Amino acid sequence: MLHKLNSPQQAAVRHLDGPLLVLAGAGSGKTRVITQKIAYMIEQAGYDARNIAAITFTNKAAREMQERVGHLMDASRLKGLTVSTFHSLGLQLVRMEHAALGYKPRFSILDSADAMKIVSDILATTDKDEIRGAVSTISRLKNDFVSPDMALTSAQSDGELRIARVYRAYQDTLFAYQAVDFDDLIRLPVELFDREPEILTKWQLKLRYLLIDEYQDTNVCQYRLIKQLTGFHGKFTAVGDDDQSIYAWRGANVENLNLLKEDFPRLEVIKLEQNYRSTSRILKAANAVISNNPKLFEKQLWSELGIGDPISVVEMKDEEHEAEMVAMRLLAHKFENRTQFSDYAILYRGNHQARILESQLRNHKIPYQIAGGQSFFDKAEIKDVLSYLRLIANQNDDPAFIRAITTPKRGIGNVTLEKLGGLAAERKISLFEAVFMPSLEGLVQAAQYEALQTFCGFINRIAGRANREPAGALLKEILTAIEFETWLYETDEPRPAETKWKNVLELVAWFDKRAEENGDSLIDMAQKIALVTLLEGRSEEEVDAVRLSTLHASKGLEYGHVFLVGCEEGILPHQQSIDGGMVEEERRLMYVGITRAQRSLTITYCGKRKRAGEWSIVEPSRFLLELPQDDIRISGRLAGQKNVVVSKQEGRAKLANLLAGLDGKSAN
C-alpha cells in the first residue's frame, strides 16, 4: 500500500502516536500523504473510519479526497469517515449541539450578503465601504473571541464604542433570527467546548484523529478548535506550506505553524522536497520568485520530470488582445499536443478579469468552467428560491421572510410590512409569528391580512412535509405554487427570464442529485447551501473544459498547462497590497500560481488596461523580474513601439532591454 510513496512520505503515513506536521513546498505530495494515511489508518492500523476526520480547505477538495480514498479501499470500510471543510465540521458541531448553544434545531446560516444587509440596517446607511468596514471588524472581533459585552467595556474611543454597539445589535439580531454567520460556525463550538468539558470529551472520543490539509491558512479560531479536539495527546497530522499562505486578509495566520511547536512539544516535523508535479524550469521559477520573501522555513524543491520548456512571458497591447492571444495560443497548443481542454487553466488575480477572457473563449468556441467566480448561488433568482427554503427550515429567519413574501409580489406593500415589523419588534417575536397575532388584523387592510395568512399557511404546510418528502419534488411543488416561472417572464425580458428559469431548473436538478447521493432533506440542503457559497460554486460535472480560476481558488490543484494573465503592477501585486505593505502575500499568490503548472507556463501582461472606463499605461509586475531570466522566453510587443517598458527603476529597464534585444515573434 505504501509503495507509491517516497520514504519521508511513508514515515508521515506511519507516524500515528503523537502530533505531526508535514511542512513542504508545492506539489510535494502533502495532500497525497493525507489521503493515503486515511487508508492506512483504516486498513493497517485498525482505526474505525468514524473516528477519523480530514479537514480540507474547500468543498471541492473534500469531495476529491473522499473519492481518492474511495479508490484505495472498499466503500463499506469508509462508512462514517468525516472529510469536510472547517465550516462544514463546524456546522455539524453546531447542529448536534444546538440545544446546548441555545439554538433551535433548524437555525439558518447567513451568508456575507445577509450580514451586510443586517449591518446596513443597523447603521442606517447604504455606504458600501462603511458597511464592509463594520462587517470585517465584527468578524475580526468574533475570531478573536471578543464578545459584544467585552467590546463594549473595553472600547477606548468613540469609534470603538460605536462599532461595539453595532456588534451588539448585530449579534442580537442574529439570535432573534435563530441564525448564525460563517464565523459563528467555528466560534460557537470553541466557546461551547471551553464551557462544557463533558461535551468536548464526547467529541474527542468521536473524532480521535484529525488530518488537516492547507494548515498554513487556518486562523486563530480554527487552530483553537484543532487544539481542543485533539486534546492532550495531540493526535493529528497537519500538512502545509508557509509559502502558500494566501488568506491573511481573512485572518489566516502563518504563525500557527510556529504555535504548533510551542503548544505540542512532542511535535514531529517531516519535510518533503521532491516535487512530483512540475518540470524543473517551472520549479526553478517558483523557487526564484519565493526566495525574495523572508523565510520561515528553508526548503528547496526538485523534481525528476525533466527540464521542460522555457516559461513564456508575453507582452500584449491591452487586455482585449491578451485574452484573444491566450485563446489562440491555447487552441494552437492543444492542436499540436493533442491535449484535452481540461489540461488547461487560465489563472488571474481578481474575478473582474474573467469577463473579457470568457468572451474571447466563447468567440473561439472553447468550452470553459469558472471556479471561484460569482457563485451560482449568488444569482438573484437562486437566492429568491432559496429564501423559501430558509423560511421553511426556520420561521424566525426574518431576512428570508421579507425576500420570500415580496418575490413574487403578493400585493403586500411596504406599509403592511412596516406594521408587521413594528408588531414583531414590540412583542420581540419573528415576522412570521407576528402574522398570527390577533392584533394584526386591526392594523392592516383586510386583503393584505388575507394574503399574509395564505402565505404563512403555505409555508407551514410545506414545512410539515420537508423532512419526509424528497427535496427536489418538494422544490418543484413550491415553484409551481408560487408561479415563479410566470413571474420571471413578467418582470424581465424574455431572454434573461429564460436564462434565469434555466438556472432555477438547474437548482432543482442539483437538489435531486444531492438527495439521491446523500439522502439530504430540504432542510439539510437549506443549511448546506450557505456553506457551498463560501468558497466555490456547485460541484462541477466532469466535462472537458478549460478551467478559469482566481489564484486563490486554484490552491491545491494542478493543471498540465497554465496561463497566468494580468501580471502587472497594480493587479499582481494588487494595488491595495502595494499600498498596505502586503507585497509578500502577493508573492506567495504568484508562487501558488506558478506551482499549479505541470508542463508549461505562460505568463502574460498588458501595456495598457482600462480602469474605471479610462485607459491607463500599466507596468509589468515586479515578480517578472524575479523569474530566472535564462529560463524565460519573451515575446509580444506593444504595437509600433520599441522599448515599451518604460520605468525609472533599474529592474524595469533590464526587462525593457531584454525585450528590445530579443527577437520574439510579435503576437500582435
- Binding site feature residues for ATP: 24-31, 277
Residue with cell 499582481: 572
By CB under 6 A, is residue 10 in contact with ligand ATP?
A: no
Task: Give the distance between the most distant pair of CA atoms in the chain.
Answer: 85
Q: Does position 570 bind ligand ATP by CB under 6 A?
A: no
Q: Does 25 bind Mg ion (CB under 5 A)?
A: no
Neighbours of 646 (CB within 10 A): 12
Does the protein bind ligand ATP through residue 4 (CB under 6 A)?
A: yes
Question: Under the phi-then-psi rule, with left for phi > 0, alpha for psi from -120 to 50, and beta for the rest, what region is 492?
Answer: beta
Radius of gyration from C-alpha coordinates of the chain:
27
In the complex with ligand ATP, the residue whose CB is nearer, 8 or 189, is 8
Q: 264 to 323, contacts with ligand ATP by CB under 6 A? A: 276-277
Span from 263-271, 392-400, 437-445, 550-558 in contact with Mg ion (CB under 5 A)? 550-558
Catalytic pick among 111, 114, 181, 213: 213
- Tell me if residue 608 falls in helix, strand or coil: strand
User: What are residue 610's DSSP bridge partners?
Assistant: 615
Q: Which is nearer to ligand ATP, 241 or 398 (CB)?
A: 241
287/269 Cα distance (integer angstroms): 21
Site string for ligand ATP, 594-613 (x = CB under 6 A): -x------------------
Q: Which of 30, 32, 187, 403 is catalytic?
A: 30
What does DSSP say about strands 209-212 and 179-180: parallel, antiparallel, or unpaired? unpaired
- Which one of ligand ATP, Mg ion, none is in contact with 308 (Cβ closer than 5 to 8 A by kind)? none
Residue 522 carries which side chain, given as an amino acid letter? L
Please confirm, yes or no, whether 214 is among the known catalytic residues: yes
Quote the crossing angle between the two packed helices 86-96 and 220-230, to the nearest 10°.
60
Q: Is 556 among the residues that bind Mg ion (CB under 5 A)?
A: yes
Q: Which is nearer to ligand ATP, 5 or 385 (CB)?
A: 5
Residue 5 touches ligand ATP, criterion: CB under 6 A:
yes
CA 152, distance to chain mean position in Å, is: 32
Q: How far is the CB of 147 from ligand ATP (least distance, A)?
A: 36
Q: Which stretch binds Mg ion (CB under 5 A): 300-308, 313-321, 469-477, 552-560?
A: 552-560
Q: Where are the extended beta strands (E) located within 222-321?
A: 236-240, 268-272, 274-275, 302-303, 311-316
Is 244 part of the annotated catalytic residue set?
Answer: yes
C-alpha cell at 174: 442574529
Out of 29, 234, 251, 372, name the contact with ligand ATP by CB under 6 A: 29
Residues 195-234, mask of contacts with ligand ATP (x by CB under 6 A): ----------------------------------------
Residue whose CB is nearest to Mg ion in the complex, by number? 31
66 contacts Mg ion (rule: CB under 5 A) = no
CB nearer ligand ATP, residue 6 or residue 228: 6
Round to whole Å and give the CA distance between 474 and 512: 10
Cα gap 339→317, rounded to integer Å: 28
Cell numbers 463499506 label which residue? 76
Which residues are annotated as part of the binding site? Answer: 24-31, 277
Minimum CB distance to Mg ion, residue 61 (Å): 8
Instruction: Write the DSSP assignment of 457-497 as a string of letters.
Output: HHHHHHHHHTTTS-HHHHHHHHHHHTTHHHHHHHHS-HHHH
Reply yes or no on whether 31 is catalytic.
Answer: yes
- The footprint of ligand ATP on this chain (CB under 6 A) covers a number of residues equal to 19
Site of grid cell 505504501: 2
Cβ proximity to Mg ion: between 37 and 187 the closer is 37
Selected binder of Mg ion within 28, 31, 245, 550 (CB under 5 A): 31
The backbone region for 338, taken as left when phi is positive above 0, alpha when psi lies in -120 to 50, beta otherwise, is left
Q: Which of 111, 181, 217, 241 binds ligand ATP (CB under 6 A)?
A: 241
Beta-strand runs (E) in 48-105? 52-56, 82-85
Determine if 29 is a binding residue for Mg ion (CB under 5 A).
no
Q: How far is the CB of 226 from Mg ion (least distance, A)?
A: 18
Active site residue 30: yes
DSSP category for residue 214: S
* Closest distance of CB 555 from Mg ion, Å: 8
Distance from C-alpha of 281 to C-alpha of 128, rounded to nearest angstrom: 44
List interacting residues with Mg ion (CB under 5 A). 30-31, 556
Active-site residue set:
30-31, 213-214, 244, 596
Residues that bind ligand ATP (CB under 6 A): 4-6, 9, 24, 26-32, 241, 244, 276-277, 556, 558, 595
